[in-house]
Structure 1
Amino acid sequence: MMNLKLTLAPLLLAALTSLAHAGPNSKTNTPSFADDPAAIEFARDLESRHGFKADELISQFAQTRPNATVLKLIQPPASPLQRSWERYRPRFLNERRIDGGVAFWQENAGQLAKASALYGVPEEIIVAIIGVETEYGRNTGGFRVFEALSTLAFNYPRRAEFFRTELEQFLLLARENNLDPMAVKGSFAGAIGIPQFMPGSQRRYAVDFDGDQRVDLGNSVDDAIGSVARFLEQHGWQAGQPITVPAMTAGTPEAGLIQAGIRPSLKVADLADQGIRANIDPQTTAALIDLVSPGRETEYWLGFENFYVITRYNRSSFYAMSVFQLAEEIRGRMCAATTENRERYCRA
């Protein structure tokens, strides 16, 4: 039999020699961001504008490399699937999220009532957004936010400007809250915490709702509840006004009515003249929403200003409708389970 020690010795020596010369990037053979002129320029810019120490930022960039999974997840699919409300809806409208929403509401009833009274946003909408985003805090993301945002800021030209701004906001956020920027976890796109706020949104809209003198969207359910409500209020939520209602159509509406966009711009009375009717004040301004499913008849709804506000959280009519319908299901279950204060949960 061949002497394995003698045979393997040259191979081990070659491997060790290779590792000795490979340097700090040997694990991935991918240069760190400290080798990227754009990242170095970014660090110098933050030093001049915000007083960061550029050398410290560059040291953090030296520990960070492009994340291939982030780049894969951010890319639109090569062969995009046809829009399908039938396929999209069950992801969020299911028994697990409805039951979870009821439990979340019952556990946090006081803070939800407080947020609703302060910001004018219905409790069920706050609950549903948190349910859609992270299933009530169960799935807040396992990516290092600094790494994810750096990857997108310097290796994703399509939206580099946006993600450089968010990386800047993240570093400011970490400094303001005494956080280690290398330790914060979130989504592949850099969204953070129970409500999945981007760093810029957290700095602009998040609130200390539990009164502990800090905003902690990762661990404080109270802060998450108050921050979601304030985000919607700041984007124009109209307290006591409708969100969306089903529309009845005479045939297929003109394409231009859909192309008018998701922001309300069409008078309900004018839509009625074109065969699109709904149970709402004719002078109300609305958007015509199409919930398309291949092989099935399209559902049409009228979306009002509050529907549009939900899309500021995620710019998709499917997303906003999922939030609305999940909210309605959760409120219905709360109504059925409640013997006291029924008017709170069982309004028409």
Structure 2
Amino acid sequence: MKKTVLPALALLALSALPATAASFQQCLSAIGARAGAAGVSSSVISRQLGGLQPDMTVIDAMNKQPEFKTPIWDYMASLVDAQRVADGKQMLARYGSVLSGVQRRYGVDPAVVVAVWGVESNYGESKGTRPLVQSLATLSCYAGRRQAYFQGELIATLKIIQRGDVNPDHLVGSWAGAFGNTQFMPSTFLRLAVDGDGDGRRDVVDSVPDALASTANYLARSGWTAGTRWGYEVRLPPGFKAGLAGRTKKRPLGAWAAMGVTRIDGAPLQGGNARAAILLPAGPQGPAFVVFRNFDAIYSYNAAESYALAIAHLSDRIRGGSPFATPWPTDDPGLSRAQRKELQALLARKGYDVGTPDGSIGNKTIQAIRDVQRRLGLPVTGHPGLQVLTALKRG
């Protein structure tokens, strides 16, 4: 492959953080040169980058640190709630024929594909609203050490537009550039998106079949093994050493069984030589899981164990499975989205400005919770948990 050599001016613009409108345009010009060298037409570059202005709220979103770290029980409660389970069952039935074809082609469990869709965009309801080109252009020129990464994603977006797979007006998503029903990054789209509905385009935004097939292709390429589970809840023996746990610390299932690990109902582990790890997302006092290779495939979609567990558990619930048998080690459990809306509505009735109750916990809600906790003599944490909801319901 011929190596492209960029002009010195372009290299300078790509390596410097612009501080003015002129330097932002210089940075975009350099990226346009790279995109042109990668095969993007001058008309697409001009149309998409010409006169573009940065959106500095994207940088704010990137730099924003959460006021408190979300405990795993809050994370799971908000993502695997009754509403998302019920909606997932409906989607599994509605797109049954599509998902059956996807399973035949890629070998991936349909419920897992639907669960990814549910977690990533709430089944298409929350795909994001930020124009990708503007967000990625801003990040490409202002994101510090990550500029090179976002520049690559911006060029990938321009390639998508040139290919005509997705309507450019519908290329909106998260601040970081993920888009569509199952939130693909542009470079991932170029590598792994597929045409699921047979129209010759790979449209993960406006075609649910394309999004579901593309997600299954991603998981298959990430090592999904057909016909096997992601894992399941287990019971640990007394004195189990927590240091043995960890997603990458795999042993034959028989070795865990020999240590006294059983299924949650006490039945013996079965699978002999299948390699598995023990996961303790809340430490040894919380639920424990044995996880297999398919858990790693889910994990690859977004490298966080809590994320992978949410998708894995949601897929089980969509199939009719039960909640975890072991309670989370907390006296203040997390709230479902419906409960969070109820909490906000109760705060609004008390005169707090929390905006429209939507289940999304922002700074206004956190500050209101803190004030309520202070007034009621509760620990002042701002945590939107069952304790404060129960106290407000009591009046």
Do the aligned residues in 1 keep the contact of 2:253 with 2:276 (CA within 8 Å)? yes
Matching of residue 265 in structure 1 with residue 250 in structure 2: yes
Equivalent position of 2:37 in the other structure: 48
Q: Compare CA radii of gyration and give the structure with the larger one.
A: 1
Are residues 101 and 79 of structure 1, via their aligned partners in 2, closer, same or farther at CA, if it must alter by over 3 Å? closer
- Cα separation, 1, equivalents of 2:169 and 2:275: 47
CA contact (8 A) 1:67 1:148 kept: yes
The aligned counterpart of 1:310 is 298
Unaligned runs of 5+ in 2: 1-18, 264-268, 322-395
> In the alignment, which of 200, 203, 210 is matched to residue 213 of structure 1?
200
Confirm or deny: 8 A CA contact 1:126 1:225 kept in the other structure: yes
By how many angstroms is 1:247 displaced? 2.9
Task: Tell me the secondary structure at the aligned position of residue 301 of structure 1.
Answer: strand
**Partner of residue 125, structure 1:** 112
The farther-off stretch of 65-74 and 311-320 is: 65-74
Q: Please state how far the C-alpha of 1:45 moved relative to its aligned partner.
A: 2.0
Structure 2 counterpart SS, 1:175:
helix
3-state DSSP of counterpart to 1:332: coil
Q: Does 1:140 align with 2:130?
A: no
Q: 8 Å contact 1:33–1:64 — kept in the other structure? A: no
Q: Separation in 2 of the partners of 1:162 and 1:323?
A: 27
Residue equivalent to 2:276: 286
2:319 alignment partner, SS class: helix
Bigger drift between 284-293 and 124-133 goes to 284-293
Question: Structure 1 263/205 Cα, relative in aligned 2: closer, same or farther at 3 Å?
Answer: farther
Query: After the TM superposition, which residues 122-201 of structure 1 pair with which residues of structure 2 at under 5 Å, given as runs?
Result: 122-177=109-164, 181=168, 184-201=171-188
Q: Any conservation in 2 of the 1:264–1:305 contact (CA below 8 Å)?
A: no
Partner of 2:82: 95
In structure 1, runs of 5+ residues without a counterpart are: 1-29, 334-348
CA distance in 2, matches of 1:158, 1:316: 22
Q: Report the Cα offset of residue 37 of structure 1.
A: 3.8
Letter in 1 for 2:73: E
Q: 1:72 aligns with which of 40, 55, 60?
A: 60
Residue of structure 2 in register with 1:63 after alignment: 51
Partner of 1:12: none
What residue in structure 2 maps to residue 39 of structure 1? 28
Contact residue 33 and residue 61 of structure 1 kept, 8 A:
no
- Contact 1:34–1:58, Cα closer than 8 Å, also in 2: no
Alignment partner of 1:332 out of 298, 310, 320: 320
Q: Please state how far the C-alpha of 1:207 moved relative to its aligned partner.
A: 1.1
8 A contact 1:264–1:304 mirrored in 2: no
- Does residue 105 of the first structure (1) align with residue 92 of the second (2)? yes
Report if aligned partners of 2:197, 2:209 keep a CA contact under 8 Å in 1: yes
**For residue 23 of structure 1, what is the aligned residue in structure 2?**
none
* Equivalences for residues 215-230 of structure 1 within 5 A: 215-230=202-217
TM-score after normalising by structure 1: 0.77
Return the letter of the residue paired with 1:169: A
| CA deviation after TM superposition for structure 1 residue 269, in Å | 3.5
Alignment length, in residue pairs? 298
Query: Which amino acid is the alignment partner of residue 286 of structure 1?
Result: A
Counterparts of 1:118 and 1:202, CA distance in 2: 18
Distance 1:179 1:208 in 2: 12
